[in-house]
Amino acid sequence: MASHRKSRPTGTRVAGIRTPALATAALTSVALLSQSANAAPAADDKPSLEEVEKKVDDLYRQAGSATEKYNAAKEKTAKQRKRADALIDDVAKRTQKLNEAREELGSFASAQYRTGAAAPDTATFLLADTPQDYFDQTQLMDRMTGRQKVAVDDYIAQQSETMTKRQEATESLEALTESQGDLKTAKATVQRKLADARELMSKLTAEEKARLAAIEKEKQEEAARKAAELARQQAAQQQAQEEAAQQDSGSSSSGSAGSGSSTSTAPADSSYATKADKALAFARAQIGKPYVWGAVGPGSYDCSGLTQAAWKAAGVDLPRTTYDQVNAGTTVPLSQAQPGDLVFFYDDVTHVGIYIGNGMMIHAPKPGTYVREESIYYDGESAIHSVVRPA
């Protein structure tokens, strides 16, 4: 007998409640939509403009660091090549002397072979026609033996020195090969970082580039405000120093009035100021020239190439890299920075500019830019590493 009981509707239980099939389908759709919504940001994981800007700046900084390593490797390579060439020339000269010493020994050996020369003995006396002949032959052989000894000693010394110089030349060539490898690695790193930065920028839309420019403008305005504040602080400090100097001068004048004498003080660091003026005049003349990593002028510069060239124009020889320039002078507080001082940036000391006063500097910023005047706070106050007075 057929059953008249209605079939139980299909469905699922949710927290102990049986749901109809239609409701289940609706819940499933909602769940899928929710998953899609949550997955959408992951699929479109696009960084913000601030993140892009930070990434690009980091890449340029890394390129700058690699540039300084490139400069150091290039300088080392040049020195190693010069030393290797000098050693190879020296080895060639010593080899020539060694060959001459060998020929001299050979001539002595040939002479002994032809004359049958040996230590004088009774047989030599018996073969001599007269006692005078014996005496003459003995003297000749004594002189020949003495010259032979000198020749042998000279040959041994020449051989030892030549072997030493050959070893030095080999080691120098190995060092040259190593420094050339460092140069190649640094160059590849610079090129890779710059390519990555360009690729990031190329992916931005026109609107995003405009927003990025606005962010950069805000940073420059903030840097200018900080530079102006530093200028005010330095002006106040200078005024206080001048007032103190005037008071000291007045006290000295009144104290010496009875004797009719007066004192005058020459401006401090006048010699430095003269050199700094020359360095700054040179740096200003380079404004507008492109940054090129590894360049030292006259058509283009990198950061340390510009500061080196500027101070060279003032008669001061600075090292090539920022790593060495930071130690080529006296470190001074930022509040006491004077025109001509070198301002270094970042913990790894990979950037440098030349201070012109009022919180501003002239520097070669990075690839794609030109030598320009800019606030020393262009990358924030925390980016400033130190200030060094090079002369």
- Neighbour tally for 53: CB within 10 Å: 19
Could you tell me the two tokens for 250? 């007045």
Task: Please confirm, yes or no, whether 4 is among the known catalytic residues.
Answer: no
Task: Please give the Cα distance from 65 to 336 (Å, whole number).
Answer: 27
> Known catalytic residue: 303?
yes
The single residue of 169, 303, 356, 364 carrying the catalytic annotation is 303
Q: Are 70 and 293 in contact (CB under 8 A)?
A: yes
Structure token pair of residue 301: 């510069």
Q: Which is catalytic among the residues 76, 363, 385, 389?
A: 363
- Cα separation, 287 vs 298, in Å, equals 12
C-alpha pair distances (Å), 69 with each of 12, 72, 185, 328, 331: 68, 5, 9, 18, 23
Helices marked H in 116-205: 122-127, 131-202
Classify burial at 242, counting beta carbons within 10 Å of its beta carbon; exposed 0-12, middle 13-18, buried 19 or more. exposed
| Cis peptide bond N-terminal to 298, omega within 30 | yes
Distances (CA, A) of 391 to 175, 193, 228, 329, 345: 33, 35, 26, 6, 20
Helix (H, G, I), strand (E, B) or coil at 7: coil
The catalytic position among 76, 351, 366, 385 is: 351
119 included as an active-site residue: no
Active site residues per annotation = 303, 351, 363
